[in-house]
Structure 1
Amino acid sequence: MTHAAQSFVDKGIKYTPHYFDVPLNHQDQNATRLTIFAREVSLVSDTDSKKPWLVYFQGGPGFPSPRPNGTSGWLNRALQDYRVLLLDQRGTGNSSVISHQTLASMTSEQQAEYLSHFRSDNIVRDAELIRQQLGVEKWAILGQSFGGFCSITYLSMFPQSLLRSYITGGVPSTTRHADDVYQATFARTLEKNQAFFAQFPQAQALCQKIATHLVNNVEQLPNGQRFTAEQFQQLGINFGMSDTFLPMYYSLENAFVEVDGKEVLRYEFLNEMLAQQSFQTNPIYAILHESIYCQNTASNWSAHRVRQQHDQFNYEPGKPFLFTGEMVFPWMFEQYECLKPLQTAAQMLAEKSDWTPLYNDEVLATNTVPVSCAVYADDMFVEMDISRETLKKIPNSKAWITNEYEHNGVRADGERILDKLIEMGDQTAANLMAQQQSSR
């Protein structure tokens, strides 16, 4: 069942909201129902166009599709060749959103069971059901970061439904344990720390001052939550994005204010620190993050366990300070105000060992869908070597390996990146057609 809401037009772009009804569990059509929201975006001049569809899978997990303002970036390039469907993945945006509010009436057991259905396999099943309901024979997909993970899942499950696959910063391992991923992630995070403190040597003393102050004093964020050194370290996630070193330094420089002869953290600084905590508003990002690497295995708090092998990341007063990166730790469910109600469910999911496979190497080994990937050589979140390892197993896949961009390349220079990927995909498709003709 599907219905479209009222369309609107802005700057020559037509936006049409769609709502779809899907089962929580696609193996049980009598299961709880979810509403999936997706926004169709097209040029006004393309009202009667036969352009193919391109579905966008957002990064995360746990974040909604973009709400575009105009035709800048990748969307501008996409609309030249496609009409675009911006999909709010289940649990995000307007798609039966998951938050501490919507989960409040459930027991911990019910929360864990419910959340177990929100990984990439069911996101892809939702998309496939939407394709059928829209009457689309085949469409292209664009996956950024975790959206790229969804793309490889789509290629594993329903390759016959795809025209092209474009991936930016998001080619996962199809076989490796989460521990392997976090070993690589901690190494990359260390490199980013070294680069930051090399550019701003004075920042090390500022960070130590802030972290030691947080160890020895109670500072509260505007939501009443105690702000800790561990939370402060998590600002390092920004190092995976371009042009973040200088804004980080400015924040550190303005952290303290003197009140009644005593130094305390400024309200502006504390307010900024709360705004940086996307785990509060997007709990899927925390509670299911490690499960995206799990197939028939439990994560058992992989990042936390791997961190103990890298003691330099465990801050104590007097030690050099290091930021962490895109990692989830069990203490977050004790400290973050909006994650506290999910602590027991998070533990259950960390111990869950019967996660179903997300990828099918046998299917991927026979792939005939042109797959074009932007792989970032210095990516702090998705290790280049792991991405290359996967792509070697997928025929008709091509990687553009570049150090021009960080993980957010598609946001920083999306028009150029997508143009490059479309060109690569067209060349792969031409090569495939030539091979088929020569074999006749």
Structure 2
Amino acid sequence: MQACFIDGDVIYRQHRFEVPLNYQDPQGPTLSVFAREVCDLASDEQALPWLVYFQGGPGFPSPRPDSRSGWLKRALQQYRVLLLDQRGTGNSTVISHQTLAGMTPTKQADYLSHFRADNIVRDAELIREKLGVPQWAILGQSFGGFCALTYLSFYPQSLSRAYLTGGVPSLTRHADDVYTATYQRVQDKNKAFFAQFPQAQAQCQKIADYLLNHDVRLPNGQRFTVEQFQLIGINLGRSHANVPMYYLLEEAFVTVNGDNGQSCETLSYTFLNAMLAEQSHQTNPIYAILHEAIYCQDDAHNQRSDWSAHRVREHFPQFNYQTGQPFLFTGEMVYPWMFDQFANLKPLKAAADILAEKADWPALYDIDALANNTVPVTCAVYAEDMYVEMAYSQETLKGIPNSKAWITNEYEHNGLREDGERILDKLIEMGNAIAHLPK
């Protein structure tokens, strides 16, 4: 019997599916994939169309809704929604430093190589068949949008609509191109942040200099470094993040009394605890290990990432902080030193190096199939997106017929979270127009 519960006027059902780890070896090891069905209680007995949600990441579970709000509120007006915990995340067979501990680095790397968008989409397709759904719509946020284009490449006949928000990738560009653009966008966000809070520059330099001259430990015992501090700049690409970041910097130091009776400043436990909480790589290692692999999409060419963000950073030396120089935050980049410094990534260092050198990744997209697309595809493309380059999104959409983009600077990358009801409503309306349906 399916586990379910009712909250207000919404019913939630839990589903579990057994899927192959490797679809090229269907008789081999299997994984468990968890999905949560969400439906308007009054419409539950009706034969509603389905909408599957693909979460951003990679390596993060689907949302855990606790109210009928945001994009879900709009979706429930006409869809039965499936919130998919992508393989390796949430209540699916999970990837963590604990679950990988019993494997050699080579086996870790081989195992992890099956957790990209191609197999996430194959899981979804298997689930569609098991549920007996002829076609369904998909909604992909950020990396979920990458998954959506993979789905359109492999199984377009299974889709009625595709809605993408902040997640239209390049189909052909190397990771180096992606990070070259990303560093430029991160510079823009730094400029805007320090223009809004001029006093924050001196405070950031003070924190960075303190870290250079002291052995500072996070609550988990891990040494905290300037490079780790810079990583919180990932928040600069989200709306309403600047003010909370500034407040956090304000309380970075606390005055304490030493044994000699003299007082001195040190980094506060509150600040350090917040810094540890920012390190999602500790609990969601797929994000660190496979982040660059999502850009290894073309099996016809050498597609090793070779720690792209780290290499490209050499062309942007302003991000390498030195005392007396301006301080800059970094963004959505993954670096090899993380596997030397982060407590829960250290056991995965060798596997991460193997995957960074992997050159035989299978293709993630079928450009010919996308060039003959007939599924209505509507996208929210954010003009000032720090994570996904607008120019590359436009480049991709030019090659996909029956697609339409809403390009806007009203939102940052997390627009779906901020104003999801409006955004999804607009994408549905645009999709209806492509399909020549009434509003």
Bucket of the pairwise TM-score, normalised by the shorter protein: over 0.9
**In structure 2, distance between residues paired with 1:331 and 1:241:** 25
Aligned to 1:377: 383
Q: Secondary structure of 2:76's partner?
A: helix
1:166 to 163, 166, 172: 163
TM-score (norm 1): 0.97
Aligned to 2:296: 294
2:429 to 423, 426, 434: 423
After TM superposition, give the deviation of residue 5 of structure 1 in Å. 2.8
1:267 to 266, 269, 282: 269
Indicate yes or no: 2:39 matched with 1:37: no
User: Which amino acid counterpart does residue 351 of structure 1 have in structure 2?
Assistant: E
1:65 to 62, 66, 69: 62
**In structure 1, distance between residues paired with 2:309 and 2:180:** 8
Aligned to 1:438: none
User: Which amino acid counterpart does residue 270 of structure 1 have in structure 2?
Assistant: L
**In structure 1, distance between residues paired with 2:435 and 2:341:** 51
Aligned to 1:368: 374
**Identical-pair percentage:** 69
State the Cα deviation string for residues 335-359 of structure 1 (Å, max 9, x = none).
Answer: 0001000000000000000011100
**In structure 1, distance between residues paired with 2:407 and 2:44:** 37
Indicate yes or no: 2:336 matched with 1:309: no
Aligned to 1:126: 123
Q: Secondary structure of 1:81's partner?
A: coil
2:76 to 69, 75, 79: 79
After TM superposition, give the deviation of residue 412 of structure 1 in Å. 0.2
**In structure 2, distance between residues paired with 1:28 and 1:429:** 38
Q: Which runs of 5+ in 1 are unaligned?
A: 434-440
After TM superposition, give the deviation of residue 111 of structure 1 in Å. 0.4
For 1:10-409, list aligned pairs within 5 A: 10-260=7-257, 261-295=263-297, 296=299, 297-409=303-415
Aligned to 2:260: none
After TM superposition, give the deviation of residue 388 of structure 1 in Å. 0.4
Q: Secondary structure of 2:340's partner?
A: helix
After TM superposition, give the deviation of residue 258 of structure 1 in Å. 1.4
State the Cα deviation string for residues 162-209 of structure 1 (Å, max 9, x = none).
Answer: 000000000000100000000100000000000000111100000000
**In structure 2, distance between residues paired with 1:316 and 1:11:** 55
TM-score (norm 2): 0.97
**In structure 1, distance between residues paired with 2:205 and 2:248:** 14
Question: How many aligned residue pairs are there?
Answer: 429
State the Cα deviation string for residues 276-323 of structure 1 (Å, max 9, x = none).
Answer: 110001000000000000033100000000001000001111111000
More moved, 251-260 vs 124-133: 251-260
State the Cα deviation string for residues 203-238 of structure 1 (Å, max 9, x = none).
Answer: 000000001100110111110001100000000000
After TM superposition, give the deviation of residue 430 of structure 1 in Å. 0.9
**In structure 2, distance between residues paired with 1:423 and 1:51:** 18
Q: Which runs of 5+ in 2 are unaligned?
A: 258-262
User: Which amino acid counterpart does residue 209 of structure 2 have in structure 1?
Assistant: T
Q: Secondary structure of 1:69's partner?
A: coil
**In structure 1, distance between residues paired with 2:101 and 2:276:** 22
User: Which amino acid counterpart does residue 163 of structure 2 have in structure 1?
Assistant: Y
After TM superposition, give the deviation of residue 51 of structure 1 in Å. 1.1
**In structure 1, distance between residues paired with 2:352 and 2:402:** 38
**In structure 2, distance between residues paired with 1:40 and 1:170:** 23
User: Which amino acid counterpart does residue 68 of structure 2 have in structure 1?
Assistant: T
Runs of 4+ in 1 over 4 A off after TM superposition: none
